[in-house]
């Protein structure tokens, strides 16, 4: 049975409630790592607050030190030549293994 005391949060309110941007919320929805949206009207969606709370509680937590401990600096390719070099390295690595 539907819980009538469950509050529905709109997209922006849900993002604010979770502490991230609407873009991040949409990315999580695309990869299906967020509760299902409810169609409120033709052009508006919302989320059940209880489901969002449950999702937040079940998220993997990491300590602050864990976030930067294993970071590797990566240089973004700037030119097509850079991309070609990266591709050649990957091809050589595949052949070697």
pLDDT single digits (tens) 34-59: 999 999 999 999 999 999 999 999 88
Query: How many Å apart are CA 25 and CA 13, to the nearest integer?
Result: 11
Segments of the chain scoring below 50 in pLDDT: 1
Q: Helix axis angle, 11-18 relative to 22-30, nearest 10°?
A: 100
pTM for this one? 0.58
Q: What residue ranges do the domains of the chain occupy? A: 8-59
Query: How many Å apart are CA 35 and CA 18, to the nearest integer?
Result: 12
């Amino acid at each position: 049975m539907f819980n009538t005391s469950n509050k529905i949060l709109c997209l922006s309110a849900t993002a604010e409630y979770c502490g991230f941007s609407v873009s991040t919320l949409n990315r999580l929805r695309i990869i299906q790592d967020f509760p299902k949206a409810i169609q409120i009207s033709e052009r508006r969606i919302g989320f059940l607050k209880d489901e969002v709370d449950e999702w937040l509680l079940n998220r993997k937590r990491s300590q602050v030190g864990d976030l930067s401990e294993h970071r590797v600096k990566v240089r973004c390719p700037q030119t097509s030549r850079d991309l070609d070099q990266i591709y050649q390295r990957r091809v050589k690595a595949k052949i070697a293994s």
